Amino acid sequence: MISKNYLITIVGPTAIGKTALSIQLANYFKAEIISCDSRQFYKEMTIGTAVPNTDELASAVHHFVQNRSIFDDYNVGSFERDALSKLDELFQKNPVQIMVGGSGLYVDAVLKGLDYFPDVDPKIREALTNQLQEKGIETLQEKLKELDPETYHSIAIDNPHRIMRALEICIGAEMPYSTFKNKPKTPRNFSSIKIGLNAEREVIYNRINKRVDNMLANGLLEEAEKLYPNKDLNALQTVGYRELFSFFDGEFTQEFAISEIKKNTRRFAKRQGTWFKKDEETLWFDYQTNINEIITKISDKINDI
C-alpha cells in the first residue's frame, strides 16, 4: 500500500522515446499522464510537435495535449498552476502519477516551483522587440552581459525570448534578473522520481534526422503553410516551423530549411541534455532498457522515500 503521493517524471532529449515509456509506466501504475511539452499544448500544431498519435492517446489518459490555441496567452506560470491543480485531482484517485516532456523549464515549474518576478511596463518588451528586429540579437546579448553577467552565462544565449525576458526585468526592476531567482518555493504535496532516457549522441542525432524525415512525409510542409499567416505568434517561434517560414519568405531554399530543422533540433537536444543532467537525483537509463528494470528501480525508490 502506497501511503504518499509520487510523481514519476520522464525526461530526456527529443526523439528518445519518452512517450512510449510514459504510456508503459502509466499502464503499469494505473496512472494518467501530464504532458509538459510546451510545443504540444497547441491544437493547431500536430505534426511538427510530435504529438502522441491516436493509438498512443488511446493507450493512457493524457492531459495538456493540444488543449490550447496558438492564439491563447499561455506561459509556464499558467502551466504550473494548471498542472498542480490537475495533479491534486489525480492524486485523489491514485497516489502515483506520470509526467513526461522535454521542456526543462516546465518540468522544473511543476516539481520545484517558479521564481516570481515583478511586473514591468509592457513598453519595455516592445522596445526590446524593435531593437531585436532592427539591430539583431547580438545587441541584446551585449546588453544582458552588461546588466546581468550571471544570467548571460547561464541561459540559452541564442534564444531571443529568454534574453528579452531577462532584459525586461533588469531594465524594469532596475535589478539583475538573477537576483529574483532561487527564492524559497511552496512545498509540493508529492515526492518526485525523475527517470532520464539517453543514448549515444550519434544515436540521438540519427533518431532526430529520421523523425524530421517522417514529419515531412506526414505533411509538415502543408501544416506549416497553414500556420504561416500567423508566423509572428509566440507559440510558433519554434524549431520545425520557424525554418519553413523562412523558406516561405524566400530566405531559404526548401532543402536548406530542412537541413536547418535537423541541425536546430540537434542543438535543442544538446541543450536538453545539459539542462536535465544538472539534477543529480535523476535515474538515467539507456533508451533500450527493458521496462521491467525501470519499474524495479522506481519501486525501490518508492520504498526508500
Last residue of a domain, which of 149, 180, 211? 180
Q: Is 15 annotated as a binding residue?
A: yes
Please write the tens of the pLDDT for every residue from 7-60. Answer: 999 999 999 999 999 999 999 999 999 999 999 999 999 999 999 999 999 999
pLDDT band at residue 259 under the 50/70/90 scheme: very high
Q: Does a structural domain hold residue 162?
A: yes
Q: What is the pLDDT of residue 120?
A: 85
Last residue of a domain, which of 162, 180, 198? 180
Quick one: 138 and 264 in the same domain?
A: no
Quick one: 68 and 107 in the same domain?
A: yes
Q: Does a structural domain hold residue 102?
A: yes
Q: Is 17 annotated as a binding residue?
A: yes
Last residue of a domain, which of 163, 180, 197? 180
Q: Is 302 annotated as a binding residue?
A: no
Q: Is 269 annotated as a binding residue?
A: no
Q: Is 70 annotated as a binding residue?
A: no
Nearest alpha carbon to residue 201 among 107, 294, 274: 274
Q: Does a structural domain hold residue 153?
A: yes
Quick one: 86 and 204 in the same domain?
A: yes
Quick one: 132 and 262 in the same domain?
A: no
Q: d(Cα 30, Cα 13) in Å, to the nearest integer?
A: 26
Q: What is the pLDDT of residue 58?
A: 97
Q: d(Cα 164, Cα 139) in Å, to the nearest integer?
A: 11
SS3 156: coil
User: Which CATH number belongs to the domain containing residue 163 in this structure?
Assistant: 1.10.20.140
Residue 110: what residue type? V
Please write the tens of the pLDDT for every residue from 194-246. Answer: 999 999 999 999 999 999 999 999 999 999 999 999 999 989 999 999 999 99
Q: Domain range for residue 223?
A: 6-114+185-304
Quick one: 129 and 101 in the same domain?
A: no
Query: What is the count of structural domains for the chain?
Result: 2
Quick one: 284 and 251 in the same domain?
A: yes
Q: What is the pLDDT of residue 180?
A: 83
Are 60 and 27 a contacting pair, CB within 8 Å? yes
Q: d(Cα 85, Cα 226) in Å, to the nearest integer?
A: 34
Q: Does a structural domain hold residue 1?
A: no
- Whole-model pTM? 0.82
User: Which CATH number belongs to the domain containing residue 30 in this structure?
Assistant: 3.40.50.300
Q: Is 250 annotated as a binding residue?
A: no
pLDDT band at residue 1 under the 50/70/90 scheme: low
Q: Is 19 annotated as a binding residue?
A: yes
Quick one: 218 and 300 in the same domain?
A: yes
Please write the tens of the pLDDT for every residue from 114-135. Answer: 877 888 888 999 999 999 999 9
Which percentage of the chain shows pLDDT scores above 70? 99
Quick one: 97 and 212 in the same domain?
A: yes
Q: Is 219 annotated as a binding residue?
A: no
State the average pLDDT over residues 134-149.
94
Quick one: 147 and 268 in the same domain?
A: no
Is the pLDDT score of 185 beyond 80?
no
